[in-house]
Structure 1
Amino acid sequence: MKRLAGALGGVVAGVLVLGVWACTPRTSAEAGPTSGKRGAEPTMSTGIEIASLATLFEERRLAFSPDGKWLAVSARSSGLSVYEAGSGRVVKHLAPSGAISRVGFDATGKRLFATLGSDLLVWTVPAWAPSPPDSWGSEHFLLHPTRPWVARANSTSEVEIREIGGYHFGPEGQLGVAHGGMLDDFADLAFDDDGRVVVGEPGQFRVYRLQPFAEVGSIPRGQLDTIRSLEIRKDVLLATTSRGATGALTALDWPSGAPRYTLPLPGGGVAMAVDRAGHWAAVAYVSSGTPQAPVGGVAVVDIAGRKVTRTIEAVPAPVSVALSPDGRQAAYAGSDGAPLHVVDLASSKALWNR
């Protein structure tokens, strides 16, 4: 199989030692490196293993609509709600409490999807009228940001890519099945804008073309085996990683896979969101505390500038983060029951909390 790139360098994750933080978010000035150099060794261990927080990551999900008007928020205790992103006004409570594991708007912004157990729930936007649930046997899905495609995990732990027809995903809509052995949380899957999908498995990423469906190559993963989030924007593939209590954001050239830079994060990266243009990334991280009371924040990354421009410190640590498509607003929330925060990304000023 044709290689798209040479082997990746090892990921060196840095950690910053943070003090005790107040319960309201605070920002810190320019943090992290301003070049593509490898991160420094951590000065001490924070003592919290990111893997021990896995159950918390499923408790909250956030998604902006493509026009940035709506913010969908799920929580195990209160179900799925939609907010007016600019004001924080509650627009609609859509689903009862339960294990909602994924939330997302389709590329048109006319439909909102969520998974409750193995059922796919769909609402039309902005009427918020429900469609009959589609029992498709998977808790995981990923919607393409600009095209009518969806990926889901099938019963053999592979990834099935389908074209959205109506809202059902019948056999006639299948584009193909991709191999993948590390996709329990869909952290190792990303679409690009040119009709390709990258799927992680042990030791490598497989790259597929979707129309017509075919495997077109692979990228060695090197030491990127603890990926928490994966995103593709234009010519860059971004991966947040965690190892123990440390974390990093690694940028690779896309689609060659050549290493571009690695930025140490203030803690283990647990979630990432990127604006539509690929200018900014917001990375939720956990730096200290305990699995019951994690401490962390959100690192704001200038992707082209190769630097963490600021951190928004938060207690409890956020487990989910979303960026508005224009990159002006960031939303983040801790585990179930923790406040939801929406901030202005440029200034980190709080816009509203719930």
Structure 2
Amino acid sequence: MEQHPTTGAVWKGETVDLELERSLRPGSWEEFIGQERVKERLKVLVASARARGEPMEHLLFCGPAGVGKTSLATLLAKEMGVNFRATSGPILERAGDLAGLLTSLEPGEILFIDEIHRLPRAVEEYLYPAMEDFRIDIVIDQGPSARSVRLTLPKFTLVGATTRVGMLTAPLRSRFGMVHRLDYYPVEEMARIVQRAAGILQVPLLADGAWEVARRARGTPRIANHLVRWIRDFALVKGQGRPVDVELACEALSMLEIDEDGLDDMDKRLLETLVFKFRGGPVGIHSLAVALGEDPGTLEEVHEPYLILQGFLKRTPQGRVATPRTYEKLRVTPGQSLQGELWKEREKEDT
């Protein structure tokens, strides 16, 4: 075993102080930075439920990946003083999987279903009476001897999380008492999140370095935490233990190919392909995915939301279209052909 010279953590092989990594998740309302309107509403719900001595109503969190949906659900359980049970939509393949989970719940417990829009339809319909009447009907035996047995469930709170709220069916969406949308974070809040993570990981990150990381973290705390962990490792190896200023932070992020706008290599490839190969669009997502050798769902869920938010991309009924900011970033004029110098360089790299 060896000791980490910065954090003092002890590791063997590649296992490094997992408890320290888990501590990056906020443990109280005060530690949860941002999403102030959502937090205030949730505090009211928690206070009311505790005063009534009843579970909270079912809640739905929607928004981009990594903005705190799971963290908020965990905080709700902690504030209510109840157990937290977590699962995800794709895991619940059969109605029996959900039935086993529901019947094992304790009174008041919070059941968190991540990516709830990916629940199979049969499982989703099984969830309706559980949410409304706290009961489920299960079928025993098969054939002529089959019979239905109704089971009463303890009152619980279902917290669903989704990145694609539009894919939820209307019956499921209507059974949630409140829907809370979590958005990307402004740079000011991201800088506070970065500094908190740096403090927990014992990274000597200066204010200007924290601001630079926050600028490139795509408004997403999960990404910010990943970048802080990377900068910790980079500073240890390349920075020789010196405090991480803006210069060292830029060096670390450049090695990850994350530019000053927070765009990674695939983001830039997407914009270059759109401009140089499809003359700025419009182009369909499937054509764009084939040209990039990437899954259409990954482009839609991972890359496009941030590019649209930052004004680099537009979705139209005809397809994706490059914006003036994209041309400015690539330093080309609209209509520049496939023979652009930047595209030539990119194709040389690919070959």
* TM bracket, shorter-chain basis: under 0.3
Could you say which structure has the higher helix fraction?
A: 2
TM-score, normalisation: structure 2:
0.24
- Structure number with higher relative contact order (C-alpha < 8 Å, ≥ 6 residues apart): 1
- TM-score with structure 1 length normalisation? 0.24
